[in-house]
Structure 1
Amino acid sequence: MTEKQRTEFFEVFEVFSKRTPSAAMQYQFSLLAPNHELAAVMAQENFMRREPVADIWVVKRSDIRKMTEDERESLARLDNKDYRTTKGYGYLKKKWREYEQGMLDEKEILSWGEESK
């Protein structure tokens, strides 16, 4: 089999796995296989003899899509999520103080009436 035939026949697959059902999925390695089924079998054979695995994902490299520069820039405007954390409300103490200082008490209101007499 020539190099050109090999590259046309085999595809590159990326393998991800997690050790326990609650663990995060982690990238492991790439492999060459003619189809998804054989890639999954090769990934299982590689892992099952080394360590316990709860799940394995096998994804064709050509199916993985990364974000464009424009898409990454659009994420910047979504990054302001201070309102979701308690520190995002830190400015309210200052606003409340300004509001209280601006409030009028009963004596001040009654004093206005005295001045006009």
Structure 2
Amino acid sequence: MDSGKTDDFYDVYEVFSKRSHKGDFQHQFSLLAPNADMAFIMAQENFMRREPVVDIWVVKRSDIRRMKPEERDIVQRLDNKDYRLTKGYGYLRKKWRQYEQKMLDEKEIMSWAEDRPHKEKRQP
């Protein structure tokens, strides 16, 4: 794994930004800086004045942990989640269509009024 250290003075930092309050953070770029405060200032100067953002994260690359190969094998075993898919409910569309065809529509209901003989008003 890359430690993110380039020499004894600079560290590699990753910059993430969020464009709206409801949006997700997205990785934007990497930068070299001597410390976290300087990395944050550089990220603000290089990115925030060009793009409209509501928040940024600046993270030292060496602080980001990635999965080891043996951990990936465990995740692949846990990836069998067919029970979460809705492919078992495919018959419902056909069943719903049959139900809708049996339902009475507005034209049919209005035709009933035409079939009924009109009562004539009685004269007193």
Distance, in Å, in 2 between the alignment partners of 1:64 and 1:88 is 40
Query: Structure 2, unaligned stretches of length 5 or more?
Result: 1-5, 91-124
The aligned counterpart of 1:16 is: 16
Query: Structure 1, unaligned stretches of length 5 or more?
Result: 1-5, 91-117
Distance, in Å, in 1 between the alignment partners of 2:74 and 2:38 is 39
How far has the Cα of 1:9 moved from its partner? 1.3
Going by fraction, where is helix more abundant, 1 or 2? 1
Letter in 2 for 1:40: F
TM-score, with normalisation over the residues of structure 2?
A: 0.62
Query: Stretches of 4+ moved more than 4 A in 1?
Result: none
Aligned-residue RMSD, C-alpha: 1.8
Matched residue of 1:7: which SS? coil
TM-score, with normalisation over the residues of structure 1?
A: 0.65
User: Measured at CA, do residues 72 and 21 of structure 1 come closer, stay the same or move farther in structure 2, by a change above 3 Å?
Assistant: same
1:39 aligns with 2:36: no
Distance, in Å, in 2 between the alignment partners of 1:21 and 1:88 is 37
1:56 aligns with 2:64: no
User: Measured at CA, do residues 89 and 71 of structure 1 come closer, stay the same or move farther in structure 2, by a change above 3 Å?
Assistant: farther
Distance, in Å, in 1 between the alignment partners of 2:15 and 2:88 is 40
Matched residue of 2:30: which SS? strand
